[in-house]
Structure 1
Amino acid sequence: MIALQIALVLLATKVAGQISVRLGQPSVLGKILVGILIGPAILGWINENEVIKTFSEIGVLLLMFLAGLETNLKTLNDNKKAALLVATGGIVAPILLGYVGAQIYNFSLAESIFIGLLLSATSVSISVQTLREIGWLKSKEGSTLLGAAVLDDVIVVILIAVALSVFAGSDTNLALLITKKILFFVLVILASKWLVPIFIKLFSNFKVTETILSAGLIVAFSFAYFAESLGVAGIIGTFFAGIAISQTRFKKEMENRVEPLANGFFVPFFFTSIGLNVTFSSIEDQIGFVIIFSFIALLSKFVGSGLGAKVSGFSNTSSMGIGAGMISRGEVALILATMGLESKLLPADYYTSIIMVIIITTIVTPPLLKLFFGLKEDRLYENKMNAKL
C-alpha cells in the first residue's frame, strides 16, 4: 500500500506542478493544492502516516540544505542589517494585530499573546523553492529573506518559551534557552570553518560510491540534529550546513548530487504533507474567524516585513516581494500551534481554524512572490529598458 501512495504522491505533485506552471504560477502552488485534493479534505486517497511524515521532514531539510548551498555568504553578510529590520517588522506587526484580533474574539490575555506570537512565525521553505524557480534566490532580496527567516525563527522561539514560562507554568529556564541559541551559532560557525572542509575532503578520497553526496548528507543531518537538540529548527541547521559546504571546492558537485535526490523524491512529500493537514470538518461555524485571521496573518507580515525592507533601502517592488516572502507560516507555525494546544494557550475549539489560517498563508505566498518579483530575466530586461528610457 505504501508503494502505491509513494507513486501517487510523486505523480500528483509533478502533474499539478506542471499545470500550475502552464497557468503562469510557480509549481509549488500546484504541489500544495494537490495535497488538499488527494488528502482527507476532498478525495481521501492519502492520509498522513509515519512514512509520509518522515519523507516530508527529510524533504524540507534537504530543501533548506540546497538553499544554503546556493546562498552567497558575502551577500548574506552584506544584508544582515536589512534582514534584522525585516525580521523585526515581521514579528512586531503580527504580535500586535494578532493580539487585537484575539481580543475581539474574547480570548484571554495569555491566549491573545500566544496567538500573536504564533502569527509572527515564518517558514521560508516555501519561499525558498519559489525563489529558486523564478531565479531570485541568489539575489540581494533572496539573501535578505533567508537571513530574516533565520532571525525570526530564533527570536520567536525565545518569545514562545517566555510565554510558556509565564502563562503555562513551564519550567523553562530563559537564560539557558538563550545560551543554547548562542552556543548553536558559535559552534556551527566554528565547525563550518574548521571541521566541515576537512571532513568533506577526507571523505572524497574514499574508494566507494557517492562519497561526496554521503559526506554532505552526514553534515546536513548532523547539523539538523544539533540544531534541534539546542532548541533551533532543524531546517536552520541544514541551511548552515549548506552554507558551510558552499565555501568549499565541492559546492557545485554537491548541488548536482543533492538536487535530484531532493526534488526528485523527498521534497514532493513535504509539499503534499501541507495539504494533508487540511480538513473542512467542523469549520463552518468559524468561517468568519478564518477569514479575519487570514487577513491579519497576511497583512501583518506583508506590511511589517515590507516596511523593514523599505527602511533598509529596497525599492517599493522589492519591499513588497520581501514582505510577501515572509507571509508563509508553514511547518514552523504548525509545530507552535501544537505546542499551544498542549499547553492550553491555544483554545482547542479554534485549533482547526488556526491550522486553516496557517495553510492559507502558505498557499498564497508563491503566487504573491511571482506577482511582485516575476521571473528574474523579465525584471532584468525591464530594468534595462527603463534605464534606456
Structure 2
Amino acid sequence: MLMELLLALILIIVGTKFASHLCHRIGIPAVIGELLTGVILGPALLGWVAHTDTISIFAEVGVILLMFLAGLESDLEKLKKYLTPSVMVALFGIVFPMIFISGAAHLFDIPWKEAIFLGVIFSATSVSISVQVLKEYKRLDTAEGSVTLGAAVVDDIAVVLIVSIFSAVLSMDGNTSSMGVGFIWDLLGTKILFFIGLYLFANFILDPLLSLTKKIVAVEAETAFALALCFGFAILSEHVGMSDVIGAFFIGLLLSRQEGKHEIEHNISVISYSVFIPVFFVSIGLDIELSAFKEYAVIIIVFTLLATLTKLIGGYLGGRVTKLDRSQSLIIGAGMVSRGEMALIIVKMGENLGLINEGLYSAIVVAIILTTLFSPLLIKYAIEKGTPA
C-alpha cells in the first residue's frame, strides 16, 4: 500500500513539474499541464495512477493549502473595497447557469427536479484554479483579481446554502411542518456563528496567540501554528456545512495583516507546491472517463459550452454593472468559469441523493473537467487582450 502511494506521488510530482515546464515553454498556463497530467496518468489513458482515498486526502489538503495561500497573498482592504462588484458577479454567475443549464437539461428529457440540481452543480465556481492562474500572471492583487476571489468565495457560500436547502427539502418528502426555527437554524445559524466567531477571534485572540508563538523556541514554530490555524478553521467551516476552503481562505486573509506573513507564506508554499497542490490538480484529471463520451457526447458538449458561456457572460455583466471596465470584467468572467472540486463535490452529493444516475454522473464529471481545462486558457486570453501592445 505504502509503495503504491509513493510510486503514485513520484509519478505525479515528476509529471507535473515536466508538464509545467513544457507549458511555460509554449506559453500556456502551467495548471493546464498539471490537469492534463492527471488525464494522462489516470484511467483515461495510461492507468498508472488511480484516484484512491489516500490521493483524495492529499488532494483535499492541497486545495486547503492553496486557498490558505490565496488568503495570505490577498489584501483585506481591497477585498472590502470591491465587495459590491464581488456580490454582483457571484449573483450573475449563479443565476445564469441555474436558468440555462436547468432548461437545457430538461430539453434532454431530464425531470425538472434533477434538471434544477444540474443547474446548481454548474453554478459553483472553483476559485482554486483561477487563483493559480492569476498568481502566475501576477494579477491576484489587482482589482479584477480581488473581485474574482471575492465573487468565488461569495459564490461558494451561496451555492452551499442552495444545496443545503435542496437537500433539506428532499429529505422532508413533502412534510413542510418541519420547516420551523430548527430548520432555519440548521441552515443559517451555524454559518452566521462561524463568521461571528471568526470576527471575535481576529479581534481578541489572534494577536496574543501569535505573540505567544514568537516566544516558543522550536524550529519553524510560527509556520507550524499558521498551519494549525489553517487546518483548524478548515475543520470548523466544514463542520458548519460550508466548504473547508472557506475557513482556510479567511484565516489566511486574517494572517495577511501580520508582520511575519511573508516567511509563513514562503515556508508553506514550499510544502504545498512540492507535493499537495500538484496532487490536487492531478486528482481532477484522474476523474476523466473516456467511456462517457460514447453515450453522452451531445450532453457533454452542450453542458460544457453552456457552463463556460454562462459564467463568462455572467461574470462579465456583473463587472460591467458595477462600473468595472471591459478588460477587467472579461478577466473576472474568465476567472469564474472553472468548476473543479466544488462542482465535483456537489455532483457526488447528487448521486448520493439519487438525483443523478451512474451514466449521467460520468458525463457531468467530464463536462466539469473540460470546463476547468478551458478556464486557464480563457483567463490568459482575457489578460493578453486587455494588455496594451
Among 188, 209, 213, which residue is 2:223 paired with? 213
Structure 2: which amino acid aligns with 1:102? A
Structure-2 residue corresponding to 1:70: 73
For 1:174 and 1:339, the matched residues in 2 are separated by 21
> Shift of the alpha carbon at 1:200?
1.9
Structure-1 residue corresponding to 2:236: 226
Relative to structure 1, the CA distance from residue 223 to residue 138 in structure 2 (aligned partners, 3 Å threshold; closer, same or farther) is same
Is 1:15 aligned to 2:25, yes or no? no
Among 84, 92, 95, which residue is 1:92 paired with? 95
> Shift of the alpha carbon at 1:178?
1.0
Is 1:59 aligned to 2:62, yes or no? yes
Percent identical among aligned pairs is 37
Among 370, 373, 379, which residue is 2:383 paired with? 373
For 1:282 and 1:267, the matched residues in 2 are separated by 27
Among 29, 35, 38, which residue is 1:35 paired with? 38
Structure-2 residue corresponding to 1:315: 325
> Shift of the alpha carbon at 1:282?
4.3
> Shift of the alpha carbon at 1:306?
1.2
> Shift of the alpha carbon at 1:155?
1.0
CA displacement, residues 30-86 of structure 1 (integer Å, 9 cap, x when unaligned): 010111001111000110123221111111111001100010011000000000000
Structure 2: which amino acid aligns with 1:192? A
Among 2, 24, 27, which residue is 1:24 paired with? 27
CA displacement, residues 153-203 of structure 1 (integer Å, 9 cap, x when unaligned): 111111112222234547882442111221111111221232222212211
What secondary structure is seen at the aligned counterpart in 2 of 1:374?
Answer: helix
For 2:292 and 2:139, the matched residues in 1 are separated by 40
For 2:96 and 2:149, the matched residues in 1 are separated by 19
> Shift of the alpha carbon at 1:226?
0.4
> Shift of the alpha carbon at 1:321?
1.0
| Unaligned segments of structure 1, at least 5 residues | none
Is 1:235 aligned to 2:238, yes or no? no
The 5-angstrom pairing of residues 332-371 of structure 1 reads: 332-371=342-381
Structure 1: which amino acid aligns with 2:223? L
CA displacement, residues 314-337 of structure 1 (integer Å, 9 cap, x when unaligned): 111211110111111111010100
> Shift of the alpha carbon at 1:122?
0.8
Contact 2:292 2:363 in 1 (8 A): no
For 1:263 and 1:85, the matched residues in 2 are separated by 32
Contact 1:297 1:327 in 2 (8 A): yes
Number of matched pairs: 379
Is 1:127 aligned to 2:130, yes or no? yes
For 1:336 and 1:117, the matched residues in 2 are separated by 8
Structure 2: which amino acid aligns with 1:106? D
TM-score of the aligned structures, taking structure 1 as reference length: 0.94
CA displacement, residues 208-258 of structure 1 (integer Å, 9 cap, x when unaligned): 111011010011000100000001111111101111111111211211211
Contact 1:123 1:332 in 2 (8 A): yes
Structure-1 residue corresponding to 2:8: 5
Contact 2:292 2:366 in 1 (8 A): no
Structure-1 residue corresponding to 2:162: 159
Structure-1 residue corresponding to 2:293: 283
Structure 1: which amino acid aligns with 2:151? A
What secondary structure is seen at the aligned counterpart in 2 of 1:156?
Answer: helix
What secondary structure is seen at the aligned counterpart in 2 of 1:283?
Answer: helix
The 5-angstrom pairing of residues 72-221 of structure 1 reads: 72-169=75-172, 173-221=183-231
| Unaligned segments of structure 2, at least 5 residues | none
Relative to structure 1, the CA distance from residue 322 to residue 353 in structure 2 (aligned partners, 3 Å threshold; closer, same or farther) is same
CA displacement, residues 95-129 of structure 1 (integer Å, 9 cap, x when unaligned): 00011111101111111111111110111000001
Aligned CA RMSD, in angstroms, stands at 1.6
What secondary structure is seen at the aligned counterpart in 1 of 2:98?
Answer: helix
For 1:179 and 1:123, the matched residues in 2 are separated by 25
Is 1:268 aligned to 2:285, yes or no? no
